[in-house]
Structure formats: C-alpha cells, structure tokens
Amino acid sequence: MRRRLRLCREAWLTLLLSAALGLLLYAQRDGAAPTARAPPARGQPPRSTSGLRGRGLPQTAAPPAYEADTPVPPTPTGPFDFGRYLRAKDQRRFPLLINQPRKCRRDRASGGPPDLLIAVKSVAADFERREAVRQTWGAEGRVQGALVRRVFLLGVPRGIDSGRAGTRTHWRALLEAESRAYADILLWAFEDTFFNLTLKEIHFLAWASAFCPDVRFVFKGDADVFVHVRNLLQFLEPRDPAQDLLAGDVIVQARPIRSRASKYFIPEAVYGLPAYPAYAGGGGFVLSGVTLRRLAEACSQVELFPIDDVFLGMCLQRLRLTPEPHSAFRTFGIPQPSAAPHLRTFDPCFYRELVVVHGLSAADIWLMWRLLHGPQGPVCAHPQPVATGPFQWNA
C-alpha cells in the first residue's frame, strides 16, 4: 500500500515538473519572437520594400538590410513588370555608396595608369566568386609587364527589409570591410536586379571615365567567367588604346524574344524592330580607353533598355562602331563537339588557347587556374585553328 502511494506521488510530481518545463519553454519562445525571424522559404518571392522607389534607393533613405545567407543571382523571379520599368526608366543617376577613387592613380609603385582595368559584375552576397577571381585570373599587379587593376560592380541587394534598424546596415558593413581589405568594391544605390544591369553599365562607364581617364584597355565581364589574361594581353599588345576597339563574342541578327515565358521577353511596344544591332555577349568583352570614354557619352544619350549587352550594342550603333568578333571569347561556354560526344570540354588544353569562357563555378575557376598555371602546366597537342567570324543566330 505504501509503495502504491509512493509511486502515485512520484507520478504526480513528474506531471507537475513536465507542466512547469513546458510553460517555461513557451514563455521563452514568446519572449524571443520579436527579435528572431525564420528566413523565407527558398523560392518564395521577395517582400516589397518601402525604402525602394522605382528601381533604386532615394538618396535620403538608409540602406536596408540584406538577410539572405546564400548568393541569389540577379535574375527575375516572375513576369517582368514593364509598366513599372517604363515609369522608372528615366531614373538613371544613383549615388555611389562605396568608391575607389585611387584605383587608377599614378604613383611611384605603379609608374603610370593601368594597362588593363578588370571590371567584374557581382552581387553583394557572392563573396566566394569575388575571392576566386581575386586569387586567380583577376589578381592585381604586373602580368607580362602590363599593370592590371580590378574592381567589382555592385548594386544594393534585392529582397531587403528596411524595417529593422538592427540589421539594416549589416550587409553594408560587410561590403565596407571587404572594401577596406581589398580596395576593389564599387557600390551604387540602385537595386541589384537582372534588368538593372543596364544601370550598372552606364554607372561604370561614367565612373571609369572620371576616375580612370588614362586607362589603356578595360575588360568587363561576369563573375562566373574564366579569363586567360596572358592571352588577352597578347591580343591587345599590337592595339592602340587611342583607336576604337570593342572585341568579344559578337552576336548579329539576334531577334527580340516575344515569348513571355523567357526572362529576355521584350514586347513590341518596347522594341519594335525585327532584330537587335550587333553586340558583344555580356559575359566578357574588352574595349579600348578611347572607346570607353566615347561609349560613356553615347550611352548617356540612348534610352535605357532592360538587356545590358543589347543596350551597349545600341550605344555602339549610335557611334557607328561595329564590335569586333573574336573566336577566343566563348560567352556561350565550350560546346560539346558532335563528332566526339565523349570528349570532356573542361580540359586545360581547351582553355589554354582561349581568352574568355563563361559559365564556371568558383571551384571550376580555381581548378582551371591551377591546371593551367601549375609547375608542370598542361601537356597538350599543337593547337588547332579555330573558326573566325561573328556568331549568328540560325546560321
């Protein structure tokens, strides 16, 4: 009997302790709710941001917070709002939040202006790709006697929340720290989206004209490209930076895409002609210093267009300049040869003869750099001639 009473008391005590523990955990959860928020599920559309107006930030607005923990490429998440774009398309001047005014200055160490300025389009969260570029093909210094400098082009991260002061400047503080460490970050106050890459284009042209007026050549490309800088400098060696040049993977007779399912959809009301002017693929191209300055002026007079490389082709058309095709610029990657379906195209013997290859991960960039610049180097057969001429749709 006593044993039964003891067991009964222990059971009630256990229940009381469990209830107390549950109440304590519940109270802690409620107390933490105002200061913690779960990240949005992958694939959900970003929340609207009251701090953004049109396609950029007003100069008086504080930079909102960016809370994503993985890099999000600046591609549209749904149908493009052309109504909003057309209403905001005349907004083409946004303040520079992080600058590198000394990037191209002459000093005793450099001895003169850069021979080659590398400008890479990036997004705030993509530190991994920026670091891969810094440590491989985008390294600053002397390459074959040429002085190389580097900048990354960024806008304000999308999907940001301006309502929480505690995290509002978190991403900005990280970029400012990165800028102090590497002195290569350019940040403007427009939202970093796919269709705002045109804003990135015109702001960089204006910046380079103002802060790098004596640069000889400029390479501009994406963060997911591999560039063989020695081959690029060899191509530029006989060129005169005072003469017009814009070379790359030139696309001619490209037709506007009218399918709403495509991220490149352009309605006839926005562009009514049957084909775009010739343009160089935005994955990577090179231009001379004089062409950069002329483009900066021409692009300031051309109506903005939501596809950046096509927009640059329109600016070239205004200048009556034709981009120069070069078969070593592969902005569509290296295609699998139909006669050798089992051939591996990720091979240093392919990359050794090229200038630009588009569509690589950060790990791919590291690996290819090591394969090409290791102590032994790749063992390759004699290079075969490659086809020349511009890329043409439906050729």
Q: Taking 90 as the threshold, does the pLDDT of residue 105 lie above it?
A: no
- pLDDT at 382 (0 to 100): 57
Coil, helix or strand at residue 239: coil
Among 69, 86, 149, smallest CA distance to 112 is for 149
Can you tell me the distance from the alpha carbon of 222 to that of 121, in angstroms, rounded to the nearest whole number? 5
DSSP 65: B
Look at strands 246-252 and 391-392 and give their pairing.
parallel
Q: 270: alpha, beta or left, given left = phi > 0 and alpha = psi -120 to 50?
A: alpha
Tell me if 16 is assigned to some domain. Answer: no
Number of domains in the chain: 1
Tell me if 55 is assigned to some domain. Answer: no
The model's pLDDT over 36-84, given as tens digits with 9 standing for 90+, comes to: 333 333 333 333 333 333 344 444 343 333 233 333 444 444 556 666 6
The model's pLDDT over 62-72, given as tens digits with 9 standing for 90+, comes to: 333 323 333 34
Q: Which tokens in the block code for residue 75?
A: 């591609």
DSSP 172: H
Among 152, 144, 334, smallest CA distance to 232 is for 144
The model's pLDDT over 233-244, given as tens digits with 9 standing for 90+, comes to: 999 999 999 999
- Give the residue carrying structure tokens 């300031």: 300
The model's pLDDT over 256-292, given as tens digits with 9 standing for 90+, comes to: 999 888 888 898 988 999 999 999 999 999 999 999 9
Tell me if 57 is assigned to some domain. Answer: no
List Cβ neighbours of 336 (8 Å cut-off, separation of 6 or more): 343, 345
Tell me if 250 is assigned to some domain. Answer: yes
Tell me if 206 is assigned to some domain. Answer: yes
Tell me if 204 is assigned to some domain. Answer: yes
The model's pLDDT over 177-207, given as tens digits with 9 standing for 90+, comes to: 999 999 999 999 999 988 789 999 999 999 9
Tell me if 60 is assigned to some domain. Answer: no
Look at strands 146-156 and 391-392 and give their pairing.
unpaired
Domain containing residue 296 = 65-159+170-373
- pLDDT at 318 (0 to 100): 96
Tell me if 24 is assigned to some domain. Answer: no
pLDDT, average across residues 318-335: 93
The domain that contains 129 carries what CATH number?
A: 3.90.550
CA angle 158, 162, 167 (to 5 degrees): 95
